[in-house]
Structure 1
């Protein structure tokens, strides 16, 4: 699961880290780009040594670099980290966006409420935290099954 509970050194009771699933690890990224470049070069074999090679080469290189740009952009857009800290008296959620901006929410943990919106959220089984007059989303990038499991974990963490 793309989230885990930790016990920080700062005296906080529990800490939850959430991040989007990365389906292509760095090794797979390099292998995919290398294999794509090799397969794109196969049509160039018959035209080696001819003028036609120089006419096809820019378009094939553009395809390889376009694929690299798309994969890099996808990876960069999914560099999100949400950290929920549940202390003895307060709860704090901090979200670090791909552009480096930070969003935060905090309230008294005894007043915090965890809710799941089965069908009326932007995604099925949408999980939110309520407290201090605000409602914030948590884990919207997780899959449906992961959000259901997260809801159960958060309910038990806030009732302790």
Structure 2
């Protein structure tokens, strides 16, 4: 699951704030990124071997390089757009949600923990099983980038965490 619960260090376990860290799934690790680009470069250059020493090679080479750099740009853009971190802190009296977006944008929400409710919108949200937190006069989304099954599990986890 692309989320996990942690306990902040505190003197007593009962009043220790709990933190939930959520992030989008990254399907292509750095090693896979490098291997994919290297393999693509090799596969693009294999058909060029018979053309070594001819002027046709110089006519095709710019287009192949543009293709390779275009693929690198698209993968880099996808990676940057997935750099999201949501941190839900459940203290003894307060619930706080901090969201850091892909371009460094920062959003926060907080309210009294005892008035915080979690809701699962099965069909009327932008995605199926849309999870929101309500409290302090506002309703905010949490984990919209998770898969449908992960949002269901998140809803159950949040309900039990807010009760306890």
Q: TM-score, normalised by structure 2?
A: 0.96
Counterpart of 2:109?
A: 105
Q: TM-score, normalised by structure 1?
A: 0.98
CA contact (8 A) 1:12 1:85 kept: no
Counterpart of 2:9?
A: 9
Identify unmatched segments of 5+ residues in structure 2: none
CA contact (8 A) 1:5 1:14 kept: yes
- Counterparts of 1:31-70 in structure 2, within 5 Å, are 31-70=35-74
- Counterparts of 1:6-155 in structure 2, within 5 Å, are 6-9=6-9, 12-155=16-159
Identify unmatched segments of 5+ residues in structure 1: none
* Matched length: 160
Separation (CA, whole Å) in 2 of partners of 1:42 and 1:121: 49
Per-residue CA deviation, residues 36-86 of structure 1 (Å, 9 max, x unaligned), is 000000111111000111000000000000000000000000000000000
Could you say what the CA RMSD is over the residues aligned between the two structures, in angstroms? 0.9
